[in-house]
Structure 1
Amino acid sequence: MSGNASLGWGLLALAIALELSGTILMKVSGGFARLWPSVFMFACYGASFTLLNFSVKHIPLGVAYAIWSGVGITMIGVVGHYFFGERLKMASLVWMGFILIGIVGLKWSES
């Protein structure tokens, strides 16, 4: 791993944004029924994995992957609720909160 952690965190943030975009496009594609959202979904996921791959040159793999997946899980839950009208049970919100606490803990452990 190289010493440029800020580059790694920036790449990870972009990877998360692209993963979130890809997941939103998955919903919009209607199970591959709509061509362009499906195409862009694959492009977003490919770019996300590529940036995640580059980020692990600067951040430990386990930390990067846990943050990438944890932030993605919680953010898509929020997006699903506010933009797609999906209902979140209180228990789901509590567990998402624990995921976020774990993500903050991982970030602090790397600082």
Structure 2
Amino acid sequence: MNISIARDFSPYPHGRTSKDGEFSGERFRTEVLEPMLRRALDQHGVIQIDLDGVKALGSSFAEEAFGGLIRLAIAPSEDVREAIKVRYTKPWLRPVAENIENYMRDAAER
């Protein structure tokens, strides 16, 4: 299973909640990420999150989408974290990918 944030959601994802705009982390989580995660967990699959193509990806978007996914407690946090794999080819996206991992880990520790 694959999600390209730029192609499947927006090349300009931003903001935490739907009040922050149409392409918020909350909307991405509820409309794209959560439904696919439920399918992946049912099928023991993995979701590849492709960051390529985004023009920017703010911390509030990423924390709400991915940290928020852990806080939903759909499944044990370890299972959710194992089901999400972040992919990128542009070097500038490495810190974004690392932040996503950190947001999920931090949410699991709370």
TM-score by length of 1: 0.34
Higher-Rg member (1/2): 1
- State the TM-score, normalizing by the size of structure 2: 0.34
Q: Which has the higher helix share?
A: 1
